[in-house]
Each structure stands twice: as C-alpha cells, then as structure tokens.
Amino acid sequence: MLPAGAAAAGAGLVAGVSGWIFRHGGTIVHADQHHDASAGAFFQRVEWGTASDDPMAEAAAFREYAEKDLGMVVRVAEAARRPRVAILVSQHAHACHELLLDWRQGELAADVVALISNHRTMEEAARHHGVPFHFLPVDPTRKHEVEERQLALLRERQVDLVVLARYMQILSADFLGRVGCPVINIHHSFLPAFAGARPYHQAHTRGVKLIGATAHYVTPVLDDGPIIHQEVRRVSHRDTVSDLLRKGRSLEKLALSEAVRLHLEHRVLVYENKTVVFD
C-alpha cells in the first residue's frame, strides 16, 4: 500500500491521462503503472487506439498536456512505425543469428537495415536474410576513423536503435555521444558480477553455481548501463570453462532478443541508472 500522498498523486496522474484519452475519443488498450517510493517517482505506460486522422498531431497535443498540466516527462510513440535497427557483430554469431531469425519470423517490430561487422563471419547470413552487410575491419591504431565510418553509415540508414550482438569492441564515449539513438549490448555474465573480459573464465575461477547473461543499454562506463533483461542457468563444480561457454550462449541469445523486443515495444523506461520494464 502506498502512503496516502503518493497514492493520491498516482491516482491523479492516472485519472488525468485516461481522462484526456477519453475526451479525445481514444480507447485504452492496455495500461500499467509503478511507484518507486525510494526515488519518489511514478511511472506509467498506456497503449491507446486513436480516432484521429492525424496520430502525430494527437501525440503532440497529449505531450503538451501531460508536460504542462500534469508535470510529467513524456515519450509518445506510434505503434505502426517500425524502428530502423542496425546490428553490430564480430565473430561470435549466435546472438546475431537469433535476432535475424526472430525478425524474419515477425517477432521484432522493426526493420533491420544494416549489419556491420569487423569480420566477415555473418556476411553470407546477412545476404540470406536480405540485410545490407558492411565490413569495417578495426585497426586499433585507427579506431576513431572506423567509428566515423560507422556513424556516417548509421546516419545514412537513419537508424533508431543499435544492437551489439557480441560486438567485441568497446565503443568510445565520443561515438556514444554522437550516435543519436539507444545502443543495446549483450554481456555474457550476470551483471554486475564479472564485468569486462572473459567473464566465463572469471566465473569458473570463482566456482559460481549460477551463470547468466545481461542485456543493457550502453553507457561510457563499461558494462554499467541500465539493465533491460537477464537470463540465468544453474551450473556445478563439474562444468568446465567450455561447458560454461556453451551453456552461456543460449542465455545470451534469449536475453538479447527479449531486451530488443521490450525496447521496440516501448516497454522500457530508464531513470537514474536502472529501468522499469512493463511486461
């Protein structure tokens, strides 16, 4: 149960949002909310069908109302618009294959418009799925030039989301500051445990009984961005590093694919360095 003041504030926001939608002839399809008492923050996600001939004008009108009259921070998205996605991958292809298969099966509401890699491992698969493949090898002494080419390509393709499907390069703070869209990464450990390189080797050395994979938004601090989704699996003293690598690959595929789906369906709200994920 929420404190009386917090409950009243939350109820007022819910009533304000639903009332505006009703007055404009809309129909609420789904609604959910969350109150974080420790942060003093209220979160709400609403899907509604509109009767307007100009959904974007209605979205702008709602944003103005919610910001000015309700004091909310608002993001409005049109469900019919398919975000444009670019995938970056190196040699470990399992997570990338999973994303492409999900996309081809209609499970990701997006258009995959580019596959960028510093290896040619996924070139044939990209051609098979009808995705433009771009081979941009990384020279450690000229990494800035490669990132400039990547940024130019992402701008040209008008990308709304970048997915790192085991792209084994660290993106610079300059790249992240200029890319202009969210970047989602899959890290092969149950963060915050075993950040950085060779996490399965670290896990084996520590004798853990649980391994995991973490999909998160990328920030300039390595493996420290807001977490979207995690998958875990029990392991034992009998498992070798090779066993952990094999078992972990299935977790990585599931965690990344689910995180991308949640993001594309606008179910993730970021605040501070964590997320509210409405399922």
Which residues are marked as active site?
223
CA distance 141 to 126: 28
Q: Coil, helix or strand for 62?
A: helix
Q: What does DSSP say about strands 41-49 and 27-36: parallel, antiparallel, or unpaired?
A: antiparallel
Q: How far apart are CA 211 and CA 100, in angstroms?
A: 25
DSSP 83-131: -EEEEEE-S--HHHHHHHHHHHTT-S-SEEEEEEESSSTTHHHHHHHT-
Residue 72 backbone dihedrals phi, psi, to 5 degrees:
-95, 155
How many Å apart are CA 196 and CA 190, to the nearest integer? 12
Measured CA to CA, the distance from residue 233 to residue 211 in angstroms comes to 6
Q: How far does Cα 44 stand from its chain's mean position?
A: 18
Helices first, then strands: H and E counts in the chain: 8, 11
Neighbours of 269 (CB within 10 A): 18
